[in-house]
Amino acid sequence: MPPFRHAAVVLLFLLLLAPGDGSRSFVGPQARSAALCPADMALVPAGAFLAGASGEQVGLPEYQPDIVRDPRSRSTFEVSSFCIDKHEFPGAGRRPLADVTWVQARVACELLGKRLCTENEWTYGCGGVLGWLRPYGDLHVPGLCHADVPEEGRYDLVVPGGSLETCRSPWGTFDQEGNVSEWVEGRRADDSDDRWVLGGTMWPGVYGSGCQARHAHPQMAPVSGDDGFRCCGDPGPR
């Protein structure tokens, strides 16, 4: 190595080891989340991420029900930083509120000083930077999430939020796979009345499953016992 390059490497090494004045001390993700989001929400940093999947990847069956099921194509998306509820509404240890329309879900979030998540926020919150098919990775592991109930339509089998510690996303959100699907702000492009419901329910059939699954319902009616929601918000000092 030439002498000048050797000296530069040594100087850089010494600068990295030099003690600071404390003004640039490291702040971990939990501390940042606590400073910028309410205690029941997780901070998700701004950035680019992958999302989308094929119908086969989300496990859509061959038959076509009278419901639009249309996972978006795999691509790169970007978001600003945001806060997202760690649990489905109304929160940890409580049965998720379902049988609500998109309008009711939106109003509920607004009454709390929050808002419905955008599709990008919800998907990024679930699948992380790499756009995983499930909160814990691409490979389906039965039992990690409440997503393997064989009896379709058994709404009484919905479990309280956070019942499974293993069903956690990279950002610390729970139950974005299984349990109930969740309304988001996004509108279906070719129908002004339809809004997207993301994720799969606790049974893996009709809608597909995981972070990249989505289906559409009218924003006002009908309601379903497997359609719930969580809220998002903008980060700021607490």
> 49 by DSSP, 3-state: which?
strand
- For 115, residues 6+ apart whose C-beta sits below 8 A from its C-beta are 106, 109, 185, 231, 232, 233
The pLDDT score that the predictor gives to residue 25 is 61
**For every one of its 238 residues, what pLDDT tens digit does the chain have, with 9 covering 90 and above?**
443 334 333 333 333 334 445 555 656 777 888 889 999 999 999 999 999 999 999 999 887 778 899 999 999 999 999 999 999 999 999 999 999 999 999 999 999 999 999 999 999 999 999 999 999 999 999 999 999 998 888 899 999 999 999 999 999 999 999 999 999 999 999 888 999 999 989 988 788 999 999 999 999 988 889 999 999 999 998 7
Which amino acid belongs to residue 125?
A: G
Q: pTM value? A: 0.87
pLDDT of res. 122: 98
pLDDT reported for residue 224:
87
- φ/ψ (deg, to 5) at 60: -70, 135
pLDDT attached to residue 2: 44
Domain ranges of the chain: 35-233
- Residue 168, helix vs strand vs coil: strand
Instruction: Identify how many contiguous H helices and E strands the chain contains and give both numbers.
Output: 4, 10
Q: Which residue has the tokens 């702040």?
A: 27
Q: Which CATH number fits domain 35-233: 3.30.530.20, 3.90.1580.10, 1.10.10.1100, 3.20.20.10?
A: 3.90.1580.10
